[in-house]
């Protein structure tokens, strides 16, 4: 089953095929349902994150949100997939440019969590860089007179995390 999921996800990414993505999601959903009935599914937890990322790229926000929910329910370890899950969640929570300061805070917290996890392991430093890029893209609408003062705490944390 894991091989089938990986094949569907590869097809979804390479061909921008939302049908393949939905097939992969259905299989992941079935594994999650079987897992709650007492049997432990034999599937790599990272597939939930890979599916969420593919869904985000294809604009299937509901699938992305559901995959992240299933991933976080499993109490994931601090590794690159947890960072990637936080980056994906931050992008999902990023408000439009007209959003309020409070709307931006949820997304910013996700990016800061990803940096916090990635800064302890040199092989994950690229994720800290990715998080900082996504952070700047997200908060760009706040970089104007009168609104930028709301960014001082998170910018401070961002610069500390990048050291």
pLDDT 10s per residue in the chain (163 long)?
899 999 999 999 999 999 999 999 999 998 877 655 555 557 899 999 999 999 999 999 999 999 999 999 988 999 999 999 999 999 999 877 777 777 788 888 999 999 999 988 889 999 989 998 998 888 887 777 766 666 666 766 766 655 5
SS3 label, residue 45: coil
38: left (phi over 0), alpha (psi -120 to 50) or beta: left
Q: How far is it, in rounded angstroms, from Cα 118 to Cα 82? A: 9
Whether this model's pTM surpasses 0.85:
yes
pLDDT of residue 148: 64
Cα torsion 158, 84, 56, 31: sign? negative
16 contact partners, CB below 8 Å, separation of at least 6: 58
């Amino acid at each position: 089953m894991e091989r089938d999921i990986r094949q569907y996800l590869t097809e979804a990414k390479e061909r921008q095929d939302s049908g393949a993505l939905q097939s992969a999601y259905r299989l992941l959903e079935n594994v999650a349902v079987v897992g709650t009935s007492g049997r432990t599914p034999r599937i790599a937890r990272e597939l939930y994150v890979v599916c969420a990322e593919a869904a985000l790229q294809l604009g299937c926000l509901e699938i992305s949100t559901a995959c992240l929910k299933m991933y976080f329910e499993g109490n994931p370890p601090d590794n690159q997939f947890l960072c990637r899950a936080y980056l994906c969640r931050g992008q999902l929570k990023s408000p439009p440019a007209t959003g309020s300061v409070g709307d931006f805070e949820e997304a910013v917290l996700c990016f800061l969590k990803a940096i916090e996890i990635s800064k302890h392991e040199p092989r994950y430093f690229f994720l800290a860089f990715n998080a900082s890029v996504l952070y700047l893209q997200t908060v760009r609408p706040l970089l104007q007179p009168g609104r930028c003062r709301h960014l001082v705490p998170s910018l401070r944390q961002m610069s500390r995390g990048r050291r």
